[in-house]
Amino acid sequence: MRTETGTVIRLEDYRPSDYLIDTTDLAFTLEPEATTVRAKLSVRRRAGVAPDTPLVLDGDELTLAGLKVNGETPAENGYTASPDRLVIGDVPADETFTVEIETRLNPSANKQLMGLYRSNGTYCTQCEAEGFRRITYFLDRPDVLSVYTVRIEARTEDAPLLLSNGNRTESGRLENGWHYAVWHDPFPKPSYLFALVAGNLGVVRDTFTTMSGREVALEIYVEHGKEPRAAYAMDALKRSMKWDEETFGREYDLDIFMIVAVSDFNMGAMENKGLNIFNDKYVLADERTATDADYANIEAIIAHEYFHNWTGNRITCRDWFQLCLKEGLTVFRDHEFSADMRSRTVKRIAEVKLLKAHQFPEDAGPLAHPVRPRRYSEINNFYTATVYEKGSEVVRMIRTILGEDGFRKGLDLYFERHDGEAATIEQFIKAFEDATGADLAQFALWYDQPGTPNLTVSSHHDAGPKRFTMTIEQRLTPPIEGAPHAPMHIPVKFGLVSAGSGDMEWTAVSGAEVTGDVIHLREPKHTVVFEGINERPVASLLRGFSAPVTLFPEAEDADLAFLARNDPDEYGRWQALSTLVTRQMKQAAARSADERGEVFDEETCAIFMDIAADDSYEHAYRALCLTMPGENDIAREIGNDIDPDTIHAVHRAASRQLGRFGERIFARLFHGLEPAGSYSPDAASAGRRALRNIALSYLCHGSQDTALAAKAFAQADNMTDRAHALTLLVHLSPRTDETIDALKAFQDEFRNEPIVMDKWFTIQATAPGAETLETVKALTGQTGFSWDNPNRVRALIGAFSAGNPTGFNRPDGEGYQFLCQAIGRLDGANPQVAARLMTAMRSWKNLEPGRREMARKAMEGLSARPRLSRDVRDILDRTLA
């Protein structure tokens, strides 16, 4: 475990590597506890570098078993080797030379799941960001691109399957029941994209013919017996390949594309060249075991990893500060893909909800950082919502500013210029500027300034001169001391909605640049004047969430209600309703307990019901509109002095109020939307289920009775309906026999299906109330719980700490103590997952004073431990600072 702290890596310290590695030949002899790795590197000194410059290779927990330079064993004093470094001081004078390194690994003991490890008997690797250095000594940095040839030897019985990147060039039998395969990847790549898989797995095969007519073999590897559950992933893969050709002109480049599903994985999935490795929960699905949300995630993540082939692999990152160059762009691409596969507005609303739920709090708290960070002490802690999600929003804004065509031209130029290179954000932006002539200098601040800008708006209409004036101010409060906060270029999509409905036209506008339906804010304050406006419009601002900002609309409730009903823009209607509802819930939380029964006014209830009953809307859209903001969303709006119990009470009261108010409509929806025909995971069918299930929720809340949910649980013929009904039972009537029986039935059926059992753990961990902590503690001792499996840890402990505000934030602080102890325990084995869990504390400073003190104590207790990993130490120090 790397426990040292204090080394901070800074963007401004970037220097190109003194040495490059043109080719990398690896030979693996796989043994569960004693694997040998022989690496032969052809090293080249970069032009201009002094010949006596030592070659410094990265390592992590390595032992050197052999070393040769240009075929000779170097003198003892010609090199020094430690677990984390190999320094060859005595380098040949020639510009190029070879280095041969032998290392020995124990994949079975590797619980960090970085480098080479075993998951369920399958050998696999994870090298991003700095895992390759756990396999061999190397220049483990993304700007060192090398051509890999990989030979794998294993016992045929243990590992009939031997995979690596690129194309298989050779394979055959060896003596004593061993065999081998050789893989060659012709595309130079950084070490973080290296992958190896060996084991005994089932496969699903298909083919894809690319736009230039080449046939690509597609293979998805899963546990034997699970092949049918990979069908949806395969379909999503083929659709992704086609979409990337049609939308961005990007064609796949190898003869084979493979995906392997493993059950122990720290993240979602990994884009290794030609050999993606996935957390199996993002591959496996059928109606019995996966929810509609699981299907949507699989589609998105399969696409995401595939899209990385161009945005990430063909063009990679110069250094880890540029992580958003590949991640922000690739998230944007997968968002667009899903929007095209499903309903665009529904997809956008879901994205905005996630952004606000995960990225906004990150950007407002002690873990805030720019989309492109300038320093880090542990890079693994920067795979964040800010880099990914806000990174994607920044790309989206570039498209909004340049328009569809300009955006495509810029991206084409970026691919053309930088293919085969390790690039920077500056080069990315320059491509858009050069392709379109636009000036994106001010815009580029989005990459460097942390925090969510606030927009405040006020307006008035002058009937005489027929003039509408809107004053918009932007302000960025630096979330961390000393962060830059200059005015930014913010594209605001808008419409001026007239009382008679429809967007109004204006004859002239001044005070800001307006192109089409976009106002370009650049100054701290703009007074935008529209001429030729006969009557007072209601401004619909930030349509499609055109910028990741917080909008403080002056709008009265009446104006928001008007927009919720009349905005011609569908997204705008949802946004207005959501703002209105959040505001009224927040107001209810400020009232005393006995004045909080009626959370919403009549008109708001009526809007909800009119949308619920309006069959001209898609089911999925109606379901989203009917979904109230969550307890964490309300907490975020309130901002500080948070009492989670009050918010929970408001949430419950609001659900009951709407449930009663809309009983007839919800009953009609619930009974009218009964499953028709067999299950299909498509978006329309999923929307239908979503609407029916939300109707069921309101019926249960309104009547304070879960009999209907119990019936729905028993009758459900798919996991979406089943998990939803079980959640209602466990969250609304945890102690009834019906609930206990349902939990038991679920467990009996899925005992041997880990990714399904994760749902069982999560549903229980998120049951509101202080007592849940006892349940969670008991569940950690349950057979089926494992500290070594990241999915399971997240399903129980992650879900409890991030998704159970009343349970986790128990006033006695026991929730915080439990989390910190769990982190302490996990840290020895898997620091990455431990550090990720710690982020549940990121908003602790917003709690009311009692809980804040409890949270601090728990974190200080953890901080006092002597041997924390760099990962946890980094998050803890920043959170407490």
Q: Closest CB to Zn ion among 330 and 843?
A: 330
How far apart are CB 279 and ligand PHE at their closest, in Å?
9
Q: Closest CB to ligand PHE among 312 and 487?
A: 312
Residue 749 designated active-site: no
Q: Closest CB to ligand PHE among 387 and 398?
A: 387
How far apart are CB 439 and ligand PHE at their closest, in Å?
31
Please report whether residue 267 would count as binding ligand PHE according to CB under 6 A. yes
How far apart are CB 277 and ligand PHE at their closest, in Å?
8
Stretch that binds ligand PHE, among 193-201, 263-271, 592-600, 724-732 (CB under 6 A): 263-271
Could you give the CA distance from residue 663 to residue 605 in angstroms, rounded to a whole number? Answer: 12
Which amino acid makes up residue 785? F
Could you give the CA distance from residue 65 to residue 104 in angstroms, rounded to a whole number? Answer: 7
Query: 3-state class of 671 per DSSP?
Result: helix
How far apart are CB 808 and ligand PHE at their closest, in Å?
26
**Would you call the peptide bond into 129 cis, given omega within 30 degrees of 0 as the criterion?**
yes
Q: Closest CB to ligand PHE among 277 and 538?
A: 277
Residues 327-366 that bind Zn ion (CB under 5 A): 327, 330
How far apart are CB 324 and ligand PHE at their closest, in Å?
11
Query: 3-state class of 202 per DSSP?
Result: strand
Neighbours of 747 (CB within 10 A): 14
Q: Which two tokens mark 714?
A: 């028993």
Length of the chain as a residue count = 881
Could you give the CA distance from residue 648 to residue 808 in angstroms, rounded to a whole number? Answer: 13
Q: 754 vs 200, 281, 402, 728, 747, CA distance in Å? A: 19, 9, 46, 22, 11
Please report whether residue 269 would count as binding ligand PHE according to CB under 6 A. yes
Instruction: For residue 439, count CB atoms less than 10 angstroms from its CB and return exposed for 0-12, middle for 13-18, buried for 19 or more.
Output: exposed
Q: Closest CB to ligand PHE among 305 and 393?
A: 305
How far apart are CB 305 and ligand PHE at their closest, in Å?
6
Q: Of all helices (H) and strands (E), which one includes residue 585?
A: helix 570-590
Of ligand PHE, Zn ion, none, which one does residue 240 interact with (CB within 5 to 8 Å by kind)? none
Of Zn ion, ligand PHE, none, which one does residue 236 interact with (CB within 5 to 8 Å by kind)? none
Number of residues that bind ligand PHE (CB under 6 A): 11
Query: 3-state class of 867 per DSSP?
Result: coil
726 in Cβ contact with 713 (< 8 Å): yes
Q: Which two tokens mark 71?
A: 């075929």
Distance of CA 222 to the CA centre of its chain: 23
Task: Give residue number: closest CB to ligand PHE.
Answer: 267
Q: For residues 631-645, b (16+ Cβ closer than 10 Å) or e, as one string? A: bbbbbbbbeeebbbb
Q: With left for phi above 0 and alpha for psi between -120 and 50, is residue 208 left, alpha or beta? A: beta
Three-state SS for 325-393 is HHHHHHHHHHHHHHHHHCCHHHHHHHHHHHHHHHHHHHHHCCCCCCCCCCEECCHHHHCCHHHHHHHHH
Please report whether residue 871 would count as binding ligand PHE according to CB under 6 A. no
Stretch that binds ligand PHE, among 268-276, 353-361, 653-661, 821-829 (CB under 6 A): 268-276
Q: Closest CB to ligand PHE among 598 and 788?
A: 788
Could you give the CA distance from residue 864 to residue 869 in angstroms, rounded to a whole number? Answer: 13
Stretch that binds ligand PHE, among 58-66, 156-164, 269-277, 746-754 (CB under 6 A): 269-277
Please report whether residue 299 would count as binding ligand PHE according to CB under 6 A. no
Q: 490 vs 226, 551, 574, 753, CA distance in Å? A: 48, 12, 22, 47
Q: Closest CB to Zn ion among 191 and 330?
A: 330
Could you give the CA distance from residue 202 to residue 866 in angstroms, rounded to a whole number? Answer: 45
Of Zn ion, ligand PHE, none, which one does residue 383 interact with (CB within 5 to 8 Å by kind)? ligand PHE
How far apart are CB 393 and Zn ion at their closest, in Å?
15
Of ligand PHE, Zn ion, none, which one does residue 128 interact with (CB within 5 to 8 Å by kind)? ligand PHE
Please report whether residue 304 would count as binding ligand PHE according to CB under 6 A. yes
* Pairing status of strand 538-541 against strand 490-497: antiparallel
User: What are the helix (H) ranges across 673-718?
Assistant: 683-703, 707-715
Please report whether residue 144 would count as binding ligand PHE according to CB under 6 A. no
Of ligand PHE, Zn ion, none, which one does residue 633 interact with (CB within 5 to 8 Å by kind)? none
Instruction: For residue 108, count CB atoms less than 10 angstroms from its CB and return exposed for 0-12, middle for 13-18, buried for 19 or more.
Output: middle
Residues 303-332 that bind Zn ion (CB under 5 A): 327, 330
Show the binding pattern over residues 554-573: x = contacts Zn ion (CB under 5 A), - = does not.
--------------------
Give the residues across from 356 on adjacent strands. Answer: none
Give the start-end residues of each E strand in 120-193: 122-126, 146-155, 161-164, 167-173, 178-189
Please report whether residue 327 would count as binding ligand PHE according to CB under 6 A. yes
Of ligand PHE, Zn ion, none, which one does residue 270 interact with (CB within 5 to 8 Å by kind)? ligand PHE
Of Zn ion, ligand PHE, none, which one does residue 871 interact with (CB within 5 to 8 Å by kind)? none
Could you give the CA distance from residue 109 to residue 78 in angstroms, rounded to a whole number? Answer: 32
Residues 565-594 that bind ligand PHE (CB under 6 A): none
Q: Which of 135, 163, 262, 270 binds ligand PHE (CB under 6 A)?
A: 270
Q: Closest CB to ligand PHE among 388 and 428?
A: 388
Residues 428-467 that bind Zn ion (CB under 5 A): none
Q: Which two tokens mark 804?
A: 């159970």
Largest CA distance in the chain: 96
Of ligand PHE, Zn ion, none, which one does residue 269 interact with (CB within 5 to 8 Å by kind)? ligand PHE
Q: Which two tokens mark 725?
A: 């009904």
Give the angle 406-411-413 at the CA atoms, nearest 5°. Answer: 95
Q: Closest CB to Zn ion among 314 and 636?
A: 314
Q: Closest CB to ligand PHE among 383 and 574?
A: 383
Could you give the CA distance from residue 102 to residue 641 in angstroms, rounded to a whole number? Answer: 57
Q: Which of 130, 271, 319, 618 binds ligand PHE (CB under 6 A)?
A: 271
Q: Which is catalytic among the residues 227, 305, 327, 618?
A: 305
How far apart are CB 387 and Zn ion at their closest, in Å?
10
Please report whether residue 710 would count as binding ligand PHE according to CB under 6 A. no
How far apart are CB 610 and ligand PHE at their closest, in Å?
41
Residues 383-442 that bind ligand PHE (CB under 6 A): 383
Could you give the CA distance from residue 876 to residue 367 in angstroms, rounded to a whole number? Answer: 10
How far apart are CB 869 and ligand PHE at their closest, in Å?
16
Give the start-end residues of each E strand in 14-141: 19-29, 35-45, 55-58, 64-69, 79-82, 85-88, 96-105, 115-119, 122-126
Please report whether residue 333 would count as binding ligand PHE according to CB under 6 A. no
Residues 105-134 that bind ligand PHE (CB under 6 A): 126, 128-129
Q: Closest CB to ligand PHE among 112 and 126?
A: 126
How far apart are CB 327 and ligand PHE at their closest, in Å?
6
Q: Which of 305, 570, 633, 643 binds ligand PHE (CB under 6 A)?
A: 305
How far apart are CB 117 and ligand PHE at their closest, in Å?
13
Could you give the CA distance from residue 729 to residue 760 in angstroms, rounded to a whole number? Answer: 12
Of ligand PHE, Zn ion, none, which one does residue 126 interact with (CB within 5 to 8 Å by kind)? ligand PHE
How far apart are CB 317 and Zn ion at their closest, in Å?
11
Of ligand PHE, Zn ion, none, which one does residue 267 interact with (CB within 5 to 8 Å by kind)? ligand PHE
Binding site for ligand PHE (CB under 6 A): 126, 128-129, 267, 269-271, 304-305, 327, 383
The residues annotated with a catalytic role in the active site are 305
Q: List residues near Zn ion by CB under 5 A.
A: 327, 330
